Structure 1
């Protein structure tokens, strides 16, 4: 059989190849092959190799308690125990202190045991989910038991019950006997027992978190609910085992006896560990701040640092870690020595040491106030009304408009965003845009966002990415009329401009704060303020600030690819100083870096983000701006993972991801903060026009790929969109033909 040499343009072929793991396919290119048996033999050999490679990748590596794993890696878990649980001999302590046999607390058709810990953030998130499930199922003979780990006090039970409005029974597993009998390792971890006390399901509540610290963008499974329905109906549980995600159940080992010689050199909490936690953790993990639990005492650290050390090693904590050859303001990365100290302390049994001989710790800043050493802000912008956040659902991104509408340009030397409820404000990005565009965005997109659930309500607007409004052209002098300015992350105060420059807010602007609200399991609200410190001494700094967007151009990230690299390069047109950088990509990015190569071939790393976290993005400002001579090349790149093994993947199974503005699209768009003696590009070419053109192309190709956009040639020779195919496969004709370059929202409005 001879295979003809011809280009392969079939979408069916493209989809078939792109969906396979570990294969790279260049689409829309001729596919040249050889003929005969040799071709078939080579194909068979390659296929066998890829199958073996896929099998190797599929093997689950040893997973620590509570770490979890992506859905795609949870098909080889151990079987459930065959022996029923001895419910008559296992006891639980109720809130009155009385011992109750487990058999007395069980349901007639099924019993759900969920291990909880009062300050575990994931236990707090699932509390309303469990309450809703119990109210739905209790009439069918289902009992849900919230079982708190050994050492929990009655007061802790009562507080949890009140804070999270739960009515299902709560108990304490004193001595940890029930946890041992069920081999429980994590909170929250659920076990479903049938009427014969045989375990029919064990694992997580749902897949909102497949991996600890990584929230799924599109949860697809309510694992506990589905398993419970199977048990009640008497059918086999479809998925009887999943990996629980959360906080490890710590079983305290006996402490080694300390010899007199080791007392002096022993690593202790007060002498060695507390200073590390003060410098890197307590700004968030303290009363009233964003951390879901405190790390301000010995008991806190002894309780949490085993889990905390795992988060540090995974690169998830402290958040927004970045590496650079330049010194970054407020950098928060633990050194190798600090990491070794924490590890040794945990391995040696977490000795407390002598509080009186420990070095004094600096007092924590008061993050409820504007930065006091700058004096009162010159302008304070208030949120018009509170934003209300419900207890259940995915996180919410909302753009708040702070009306400024200034009559003249403002020269700003510092900016600070100040939430009133730091527990729910995960982070925020701050920028400006014309007052008219902000008001239009409120009119067009001011309704509920796609992630709104019961209890969500408030001001602002939502957008697919971070824009949500028309990008206006720059002023004649090159000043952009839309730009980012700074950010807020927990534990930070005001963002300062470089000493020889100012932030410039053009006349007629409003400020926009893209808020990331994080649910805590209870109804909450926030009223955020923004403070501006102006330059009032009449002096004009010698330099002007400019924002340059670096656009990494690509078309699509095929489904299944684990390590796709996208890169770009920009040549600096004038002598300037680099004062900061803001890396930016979406959910599939794994890592990112930017390097400067000077004309004499000297190079330095501007920023390297080894573990990209979309939810923790922020700008980084350098203590000392670095000179970039004309002709310096800025090279930047990112690695993307569009495989099923990526817990951040917004689609399951993966699908091709095109370049675009939606969060579920992808991009590479870091931006540089530059200062120079004059406007770097007087024509206002900030890099956004090239990006905008690529987005139009990406939208068009995506719509062609999905058969979403039929076209027709008009009598005048133009090609226009004439209809759309919806998700249910029905074809609708537009009320009027539309220009192909219009955004999707323009033709969505034309559907009947």
Structure 2
């Protein structure tokens, strides 16, 4: 129910590069390279440390793919390229990857090639000369060369991945079509497509070094990154790269600028004054301006003596040492690529039944394979609730597979990127009754390599029953029907009226890829309405729980009403299929409408 782009070093990479070409500026129009002959170059193949020379290739078609060890878009295309090589090698097609990021060392590139089982040469271009000669500025860009080494196509492999958008399947196979056209001696119909993957972080040229500026990493930027980024971007964190040192931040500064100015990072989607929520990850206006000033004015390091003390992270549990750790009873194998109908949700028991009643004051989910766990939910299954798991599949109910016993289970804790734990306020705890068991619901997203996951949850217990028992409930609508092509389809749901004064602690809206916006409103017994949470740009990839800084009283007789907006039009780049009518279902090509809340009764 309820997934981008380390350290810059002066590297001796054993790469021998010889490029005798006309100077090429990255800012020039990309179309100008179509029809140009790529001048010869020699780079080191990191997979075997042997030289790879362009003009030594006796091929009808050569595909140059700008690679990265950390960009998730680049990684997800590697199985596609492996398949293309397997099907096209005997037709005279050569595929080669080029790593031009300044921080990708030869050993980094070699290890990455092994990890992702890359079946073609992977070249190290530490000075970025090949990237500069082709005006390549982003990873995941492919160049198709004919037998005369002339560029016939440049752009994306297909249309599955764009910045902030992941389609379930491609609708246009640009690279395969281009290769096929060149093999047949035909012109490529679409010779240039736009690429929106990670920027290539090229080594700075000597004449581009900037003088010292007022804003420095040590004094101004490090504190911001500690507050807003390091929860995920740290060793052992879920971020795909670290943001700890000056070198880290400088290496990824172009990417940081992009995702910050576009609003993709830090991930936060509530439309509320800054600080309204306890876990608000967004930048203040001052932080935003300072960060961009540093990037634009030369990325000065400053005096290391002015660095703040390093932020401390527990090597194991952010909530402290748990009283109990429950691990999934079995491991789950996750494929390298997403099947056509997606990876079905997996359901796995964890641990033994509780021998006595316990009160949970803190809980934390730790994925075994963070890169493939999109989200995880842990449910409390009370003694006597009959749930049978077959092949880790979702237990079904009796009404056309719509409902399941899981739909009515108490929710304990969830994991989504950047949000995997809770620590209740003093005097608050959640009850697990004697005899209950824990059940994991797992949603996996393949990332281009096979993975094995065994997620676990850590719990801390109160020594005695708390003053307030924390409960979960939700406003749910199972009966909606979203018409084909509808761009702003509204679906409503409401809770029962509260039978006593109740206190609202947190909210968690849930939809799938057609989810566009979500709003919670408190409706008083008198009919007066007030907005509790507005999420104007819902993003399925970041399913945050919004914990209120100041809990809100829900008076007796009031209720919460939720309004979800769905976009089933072709203008929604996430949309799996705008031509179908969409109803309730657990898979991401179906939809859900849940407005979950965390409360306690006074």
Distance 1:464 1:610, change over 3 A: farther
Distance 1:603 1:354, change over 3 A: farther
Alignment of 1:89-100 (within 5 A): 89-95=39-45
Determine whether 1:111 maps to 2:54: no
CA drift at 1:336: 1.6
Corresponding residue SS for 2:143: strand
Aligned equivalents of 1:145 and 1:472: distance in 2? Answer: 50
2:502 counterpart of 1:557: no
CA distance, structure 2, for counterparts of residue 434 and residue 250 of structure 1: 52
1:352 matches 2:301: yes
Residues 623-662 of structure 1 mapped to structure 2, 5 A cutoff: 623-651=549-577, 653-662=578-587
Separation of aligned partners in 2, 1:503 and 1:568: 25
CA gap of 1:435–1:221, structure 2 versus 1, over 3 A, is farther
Aligned partner of 1:304 in structure 2 is: 252
Aligned residues between the structures:
563
1:613 lines up with 2:558 in the alignment: no
Q: How far has the Cα of 1:177 moved from its partner?
A: 4.7
- Residues 335-370 of structure 1, C-alpha deviations (whole Å, 9 max, x = no match): 12111111111110211111122232322332x336
Moved more, 172-181 or 525-534: 172-181
From 272, 276, 280, give the equivalent of 1:331.
280
1:57 aligned partner: none
Distance in structure 2 (CA, Å) of the matches to 1:463 and 1:217:
25
Alpha-carbon separation, structure 1, partners of 2:318 and 2:247: 31
Aligned residue number for residue 429 of structure 1: 377
In structure 2, do the counterparts of structure 1 residues 438 and 142 end up closer, same or farther at CA, with 3 Å as the change threshold? Answer: farther
Kindly indicate whether the alpha-carbon contact (under 8 Å) linking 1:433 and 1:481 is maintained by their aligned counterparts in 2: no
Q: 1:635, CA displacement in angstroms?
A: 3.6
1:376 is matched with: 322
SS of the aligned residue for 1:333 comes to coil
Residue 195, structure 1, aligned to residue 143, structure 2: no
8 Å CA contact 2:493, 2:562 repeated in 1: yes
Q: Is 2:429–2:470's contact at 8 Å kept on the other side of the alignment?
A: yes
Cα distance in structure 2, aligned partners of 1:672 and 1:226: 49
Q: Deviations over 1:438-491 (max 9, x none)?
A: 642x12xx2xxxxxxxxxxxxx335799x9795559xxxxxx961222212345
- Specify the alignment match of 1:314 in structure 2: 262
Residue range with higher mean Cα deviation, 351-360 or 399-408:
399-408
CA deviation map 1:73-104 (0-9, x unaligned): xxxxx9955863323x3424224999865322
Choose the corresponding residue for 1:528, options 455, 460, 475. Answer: 455
The aligned counterpart of 2:229 is 281
Partner residue in 2 for 1:388: 333
Mark the runs of 5 or more structure 2 residues left unpaired by the alignment.
1-25
Give matches, 1:132-211, under 5 Å.
Answer: 132-149=83-100, 151=102, 152-173=104-125, 176-209=128-161, 211=162
Could you say which structure has the larger radius of gyration? 1
Give 2:548's aligned residue: 622
2:504 corresponds to which residue?
Answer: 578
1:544 deviates by: 4.0
Instruction: Name the SS for the 1:558 alignment partner.
Output: coil
> Is 1:670 aligned to 2:602, yes or no?
no
CA displacement, residues 245-301 of structure 1 (integer Å, 9 cap, x when unaligned) = 311134547557547xxx5xx111111111111112122212222111111122221
Distance across 1 between alignment mates of 2:278 and 2:414: 13
- TM-score, with normalisation over the residues of structure 1? 0.67
CA shift in 2, pair 1:79/1:370, >3 Å: closer
How far apart in 2 are the matches of 1:674 and 1:83?
Answer: 61
Judge conservation of contact 1:464–1:661 (CA < 8 Å) in 2. no
Deviation at 1:618, TM superposition (A): 4.0
Q: Which residue of 2 aligns with 1:461?
A: 393
Q: Which moved more, 1:393-402 or 1:576-585?
A: 393-402
Asked if 1:548 corresponds to 2:473, the answer is: yes
> Aligned-pair distance for 1:221?
4.2
Cα 1:491/1:656, change in 2 over 3 Å: closer
Question: How far apart are the structure 2 equivalents of 1:344 and 1:464?
Answer: 55
Shift of 1:393: 2.8
Report the Cα distance in structure 2 between the residues aligned to 1:102 and 1:188, rounded to whole angstroms: 20
Task: Give a deviation string over 1:642-666, Cα, whole Å, max 9, x none.
Answer: 1212121011x53232345543232
Q: After superposition, what is the alpha-carbon deviation per residue over 1:92-134, rounded to whole angstroms, capped at 9, x for unaligned?
A: 42249998653223x4211101111232222222233323322
Q: Indicate the SS of the match to 2:486.
A: coil
1:290 to 208, 215, 238: 238
Shifted more, 558-567 versus 339-348: the winner is: 558-567
Give the superposition deviation at 1:409.
Answer: 4.7
Relative to 1, partners in 2 of residues 1:406 and 1:101: Cα closer, same or farther, differing over 3 Å?
Answer: closer
Distance in structure 2 (CA, Å) of the matches to 1:174 and 1:582: 44
Q: For the residues of structure 1 that align with 2:584 and 2:454, how far apart are their CA atoms?
A: 34
Alignment correspondent of 2:175: 224
Deviations 1:170-220 (A, max 9, x none): 3344654543444423101011122233433322223331x2232212444
CA drift of 1:578 comes to 0.8
Unaligned runs of 5+ residues in structure 1 are 1-64, 66-77, 447-459, 474-479, 678-752
Taking only aligned residues, the RMSD between alpha carbons, in angstroms, comes to 3.4
Q: Cα distance, 1:533 vs. partner?
A: 2.4
Partner-residue secondary structure (3-state), 1:128: helix
Any idea what SS the aligned residue of 2:439 has? strand
After superposition, the Cα gap between the structure-2 partners of 1:471 and 1:226, relative to the gap in structure 1 and judged at 3 Å, is same
Other-structure match for 1:729? none
2:164 pairs with one of 213, 225, 232? 213
Three-state SS of the structure 1 residue aligned to 2:81 is helix
Provide the TM-score with structure 2 as the length reference.
Answer: 0.83
